Chains A and B, each alone.
Chain A
Amino acid sequence: MIRTIRYIRRYDRLTPLLLAGVMAVAGCDFNVQNPGAILESDLNTIEAVNAIVTGMSSDFSEEYDGTAFVIARASDDMAGSGSYNTTNFYRMGIIQAEDVDGIWEGVQRARWVAEDGIRRLRDDIEGYAFDGNRLTARAYLFAGLSNRVIGESFCFGVVSASAPLGGGNETAQPNSEAFQRALNLLQSAVTQATSAGDDDLLMAARGGRAQAYVGLGDWTNAVAEAAQVPTDFVYEAIYSDNSGRENNEMWEETHQREEMSAFDTYIASFDPPDPRAPYTNCPQTMTCNVSGADGITPYWRQEKYPDRGSNIPVVKGTEMRLIEAEAALRNNDMVGGMNKMNEVRDFFELADLTATTMDEAWVHLDHERHLTLWLEGRRMHDLRRWDEENRGILPGVQFLRGELPLADDNLDPSISKRAACIPVSFSECLSNKNLTGTSACQ
């Protein structure tokens, strides 16, 4: 023991050194500030309002082109000419839950961001004049249009039926719930846009309500809303070459690669192309790759979106006229229906169409909607509602129902019915326990 103490004394200068070393390690400031991430609390300030609403717009555009890209390949808008696995399946009419995670998540994010953003603008941001503000109107517009997209494109609307904004406890709802939610939100957009004096937002909201009423089959109200939107009106999802996220995916998939082609589609029967559905016959012009990314399909490139910043129409007056035309046909008013269709054709400086029977008129309507709304992500909803109605309201009418010849290798012969809507994604089914065992996730 004495020896021990002696050695401690002899080398006692070491102990402070040692302790100093350990303390140097322990006393370091490990706090690290990494730039780049925005915290939740950063958003609850008046300075964040513009960014919040711009985010709604960006998220809406981000999903809108993606949805249109899926629908173009899964419907008769375009032929598949690419090598994506999904393209092969979509062309066969197979849309699997595990293949649509990205689209579903994008649409739901756009909806939630807008709805929760409205709540934040109203409740959390001190000093923000909520009512009568153009930004408020815009927020309601994105919330409503997102719900309209869900109602039209997906097989179910998954929302919180009890929460008008944002939510929690989301359950599978019929599409009608999404359309109804869209109507409510777009009515608020109408109110706020009127108060703010913003006519563009006002007409976009009214046009969106007309679309939602179509989804609900309420043609009286659809016409009432549509009538307030002039033929030359267009409200677009905004794309830009400013950043990759803002690029138009439809352009990327057709001009940067050759994933889908107009070859052998209804659009391709127009030579020269219909002005509403422009394309380039690449093998003929030799100005672009002659075959698609699959190396087989002749490549007829869409030119509706000629650059990465091309906007995609969301609400437009020409569609409103076609809504009016369809409502007229549903009332057996063939002349009225054809007149509305020819208003659209006049707008595009095309010769008038004539019909001698209601069936002819319906075929014209099918073609006019096909051409007018080409590559806008709307075609599948038309095919779906008409196909459903084909079994009831509209017997005997032959539409281009998207029943393209199946691709030559049907992976699953047991699947004979083409998908007419996008299913709830695998990621939603996996994570949302409210959907377990429901028909939304079968």
Chain B
Amino acid sequence: MYRRFVNSVGRRLPLLAGALALALGTALPASAQQTGSVRGTVTDAVTGNRLVGVRAEVVGTTNQARSGNDGTFQLQDVPAGQVRIRVLAVGYSALTRTVEVGANQLATLDFTLRRVAIELDELVVTGTAGEVRRREIGNAVSNISAADIEVAPVGSLDEVLKGRAVGAVVMGSFGQVGGASTIQLRGTSSVMMSNTPLIYVDGVRLNSNFAPQSDEVGNSINPSQDINPEDIERVEVVKGAAATTLYGTEASAGVIQIFTKRGTSGAPAWSFSMEQGVKTLGHVGPKVGDDILPTADEAGSAELAQLAQDYAATGLFLNDCREADPEGCPSDGSFLRNGHKQRYNLSVRGGTDQTNYFISGRWTSEEGVIAPQGSDEWGVRGNFGFKPVPSLDIRYNSSYSHRDIKWIPDGDNAEGFLLNAFRRENGYTPADNDALILDMRLNQSVDHFVTGVQTSWVPIPGFRQRLNVGLDWQRSEYSEERPFGYFRVPAGDRENDTYQSRNLTFDYAGTWEARLGANVVSNFSWGGQVYEQQTRRLNAFGEDFGLPGAKKDIDAAALTSAAEGIVDLTSGGFFFQEMVGIWDQLFLTAGIRWDGFSTFGEDFGLAAYPKFSASYLISDNGFWPVWWDELKLRSAVGWSGRAPGTFDATRTWDAIAGDDGNSGVTPSNPGDPGLGPEKTREFEIGAEGTMFGGRASFEYTYYAQKTFDALVGVQQVPSQGFVSQQLRNVGTIRNRGHEVALNVVAIAMPKLDWELGLRYGNNKSNAENLGGEILPIRGSAAVDVREGFPVPALFGPKLKDPTAVGDGAIDRCSVPDNRAEFDSDPDACGYLGPNMPVWSYGISTRLTLNRRVTLDALGEGQGGHYISLGTARQTVRRNVWPECVGVRQRVRAGDVGNLTAEQQALCANAPTFIDWGRKANFFRLRHVTLSYRLPERWLPQFKNITVSVSGKNLFLIAPDFRGLDPEAVEDPNQAGSNSSGAGVGFRYSYYNMPVPRDIVFKIRADF
């Protein structure tokens, strides 16, 4: 196959050469003339802060400079005469002004920029050699700048994206400090492969998979958490296949590009920030009102009804554990604590026009709400820029971080802390001493090193080449230890799961920009990439340590075992793209990418992904109303893909042990030599623009995706020996949705500024064809992927009439497995609803008073999905779930006279998962921050000192949920969580720690 790949490239080289020759032939020469200089200062219109790193350029030339640490730029060699100067800053409006430049003179031109949500002249990255203006691209891109998050108390990339990137659904499991979120862009487009977007940091592709660990934790970690938000200059979210074609195979789940801060010219500029705060968890239990709780009649007695009220009011034995857990309950009567949180950041940037640097360091320590849970983290970054000649720009970026996390057992396991606390004496701990569980030690240390060199060479105007070479190295060591004397394993045990990943990026791209006539510009791009990923996993386990105090290394155990996993993947591809701009108003783009991948079948060959897009600035026409500043219409269609797994194409056998430790073999994968990537085709159409002098901006996109040749795990005939599923290219998955973003500056006065923002996105997915398969995603939560339904969804034998009363009221549809009753009316019978959020929105506001006081708030909502409350289902039978206290005893005794079918079903000894499926719509106030910038005269040696206080996750509204927290769910990224090994995420509540609240005080000083 790879020889075929090489031959294929070889066949296309003449085409490439010809195209290059054509492009080269259209270049225009430069000319020499008298010059002067332009100097200016760039400031924020609302706060008055000087803006660092702003790009200033002479319009129509490549002459540009960046503002230094004092917000000042200086352009050299500016042609004498009337010159138009444009400044561009991420997250700010572009501004162009004219200045008269005298020969050998210095002209002054200052700029005041306003934060905007959309700026059509801002520069974005599309996979080609250089940045392009937003106006030129036909697809939607979400951009989040440092200015957007400078006030908010964000601690990780997922917090940056939550509520800010339209079309991105960030599903969290933040109950424990250190837990990562699942990020999805435009829904679930693959049922078997990962739906996690690709993540690039300064051009280096990360391994964005979740590190493995045991299911004791109930949370997991992701490498994207290692990126310090304070280092982020901007984040670009490229959402669908229409935009990610040039990124090739693996990119159909979207791409997140992170750009970190770079050095600037000028004296060293220091920035220091310190955060101190507390993390708290209030009421832990179902938040239900009197309308849900049983009456005395329903509970069977006033006492039991009162008990239900008490449980609902005081929570389920974490807030107050004295009654439930007299032995293990801490002396203050609560298992919960106020976790201390502290974070320190220090950075410096400076340099000259030729060399610059940005160096930062951070240290963070956070305690979870239950001891000893917590995380300590430190990291350093060094970004260095060299510009030995004007045409060559070399940047070397490196970061290293280290985290130590202490977990507590959580979620779906017999030693989960919430599980045992909620179940009182009917849990697994002896004498209901739940504190014994906390003797288990679950530790994880994570090291992450990212380094890369970005080289940009512009030997002649319009001819740009870029070469990125980078390394992403990650190591996670997870250890799980039950000490000697631990109640479930008296002799103790210990597990070590070490995972190491190395990703190499080699990414070359070139662009030739040529003017084909007075009003036509050609932009021809080409490039090739090679990515190599190596993962190594070593798992060792030992038990029976013999004595207390004995050495606890695994090799000291009486019984040991080990396992090793080694996976190497290599992919490579190349692309060509041509963009034609007409009158700087209409932009047409066509491109194609070919990819090879080490996991494709022998007979497959290369995968081809074409793309086409168009954007049109209708507002550049003379008839356009003046008050409507800009409007871009855009449309794009493109293909991207996902590769199958390492051995999916090959017929294999597994090495196993048998006969007490002898080597054996067993069938593994049936194999399919024709196996190739699944391909996602996406069409999108939309518009974006600004009005009223930039005071209002909007963006709208409709997209329709179709994943064809979708990889589906096809059940093999078990009686023919190979029992595992074989991936085959047989499926079709559809996703479509709308994305809307609005931003309004309601008040823009010198001493009062008020911005409002709204971002909304929805997604409707449909498993149109699965080759006849049903994919069970989480059998114990009624979550499947089935043809004709959202991906994934909840299925089960629903009650026909939940309101029926009395004996015999329970009447169910049959279990919906190709049964006629289900097929005839799935909504009424066995289908509850989608399991992943269908819609999400973010509402933000920022109020600035007197340029010093800022109130910033962000709320986020998600919904349209259903979650099975496994927590309730399992706690009911322990007689402590408030909704069923008393009712369950009556159901058990057969005394159901005045109970509805729903009550009887919910409060049965073994309710079905579908009975406890609940609508999971929620709104959460992500943060509210009040900040104050101290007057400069108070501490004149500082450029800026800002103090702030923030509250995170202050309140939650989830009216229909009736569980703990719709965001506290089983982590779908745990290895092996999916019943079918599929890549589909799912939401399932099972004794997961709710999201705590944070109160954080912060001081930031720039000097």
- Which A residues form the contact surface with B (CB < 8 A)? 1, 3-5, 7-8, 11, 14-15, 18-19, 21-40, 42-43, 48, 50-59, 61, 83, 85, 88, 96-98, 101, 104-106, 108-109, 111-113, 116, 158-160, 166-168, 170, 238, 240-246, 256-257, 289, 291, 293-296, 309, 407-409, 411-412, 425-428, 430-432
Contact = CB atoms under 8 A, between A and B. Distances in A.
B595 to A, nearest CB: 10
B717 A431 contact: yes
A32 B598 contact: yes
A30 B598 CA distance: 6
B97 interface: no
Contacts of A170: 717, 719-720
Given A30-B597, A294-B877, 20 more contacts: A11-B460, A18-B20, A19-B13, A28-B570, A31-B598, A36-B655, A37-B653, A40-B652, A40-B653, A43-B665, A54-B658, A59-B666, A240-B661, A293-B414, A293-B428, A296-B426, A409-B892, A409-B908, A428-B719, A432-B718
A430 B13 contact: no
Contacts of B574: 22, 25-26
A55 B459 CA distance: 64
Given A7-B24, A11-B24, A109-B718, A50 B723 contact: no
Contacts of B667: 109, 112-113
A48 B652 CA distance: 14
Interface stretch (B561-569, B622-630, B687-695): B561-569
B891 interface: yes
Contacts of B646: 34
Chain A facing B: main interface SS: helix
Contacts of B463: 11, 14
A275 B465 CA distance: 82
A28 B530 contact: yes
B785 to A, nearest CB: 14
B426 A291 contact: yes
B666 A36 contact: no
Nearest to B430: A289
23 contacts: A4-B26, A11-B459, A11-B463, A19-B17, A22-B13, A26-B6, A28-B572, A29-B2, A34-B566, A37-B647, A38-B665, A40-B652, A51-B665, A108-B718, A109-B666, A109-B721, A116-B721, A238-B658, A238-B660, A246-B658, A309-B660, A411-B797, A428-B717
Contacts of A59: 658, 666
B663 A54 contact: yes
Contacts of A29: 2
Interface in B852-885: 874, 877-878
B763 interface: no
B16 interface: yes
Given A58-B666, A88-B910, A430-B772, A8 B24 contact: yes
Contacts of A97: 817
A58 B987 CA distance: 36
Nearest to B714: A431
Contact of A38 (B653, B660, B661, B715): B653
B529 interface: yes
A241 B24 contact: no
Interface string B903-928: 00000111011000000000000000
B127 interface: no
Contact of B657 (A104, A245, A257): A245
A300 B873 CA distance: 25
Contacts of A116: 721
Interface residues of B, number: 101
A38 B718 contact: no
B100 to A, nearest CB: 33
A123 to B, nearest CB: 16
A144 B576 CA distance: 61
Nearest to A158: B719
A243 B561 contact: yes
B332 interface: no
Contact of A425 (B718, B774, B912): B718
Interface centre among B463, B661, B718 (most CB of A within 10 A): B718
B780 A25 contact: no
Given A38-B654, A170-B719, A15 B17 contact: yes
A55 B651 contact: no
A166 B721 contact: yes
Contacts of A57: 658-659, 664
Nearest to A101: B718
Interface string B885-897: 0000001100000
B657 A243 contact: yes
B718 A22 contact: no
Contact of A22 (B426, B506, B526): B526
B663 A26 contact: no
B650 A39 contact: yes
A192 B426 CA distance: 55
B652 A242 contact: no
B512 to A, nearest CB: 10
Contacts of B717: 170, 428, 431-432
A413 to B, nearest CB: 8
B656 A58 contact: yes
B723 A108 contact: yes
Interface of B: 2, 5-6, 8-10, 13, 16-17, 20-21, 24-27, 29, 414, 423, 425-428, 430, 459-460, 463, 465, 467, 488, 506, 508, 510, 526, 528-530, 559, 561, 565-572, 574, 596-598, 646-647, 650-669, 714-723, 772-774, 779-780, 797, 812, 815, 817, 874, 877-878, 891-892, 908-910, 912-913
Contacts of B772: 430
A245 B714 CA distance: 24
A109 B667 CA distance: 8
Given A36-B565, A39-B651, A57-B664, A411 B910 contact: yes
A50 B721 CA distance: 19
B697 to A, nearest CB: 40
A32 B570 contact: yes
Given A57-B658, A430-B772, A27 B909 contact: no
Given A39-B650, A113-B666, A105 B718 contact: yes
B892 A408 contact: yes
A14 B721 contact: no
A42 B653 contact: yes
A48 B773 CA distance: 35
Given A39-B650, A104-B718, A34 B567 contact: yes
B20 A26 contact: no
Contacts of B650: 37, 39
Nearest to B660: A240
Contacts of A166: 721
A67 B26 CA distance: 76
Contacts of A109: 666-667, 718, 721-723
Contacts of A42: 653
A98 B567 contact: no
Contacts of B652: 37-40
Nearest to B21: A8
Given A11-B24, A109-B721, A22 B528 contact: yes
Contacts of A4: 24-27
A42 B668 CA distance: 14
B566 A55 contact: no
A433 B652 CA distance: 25
Contacts of B779: 85
B423 A26 contact: no
Contacts of A159: 719
Contacts of A244: 561
Contact of A295 (B9, B427, B597, B773): B427
B423 to A, nearest CB: 6
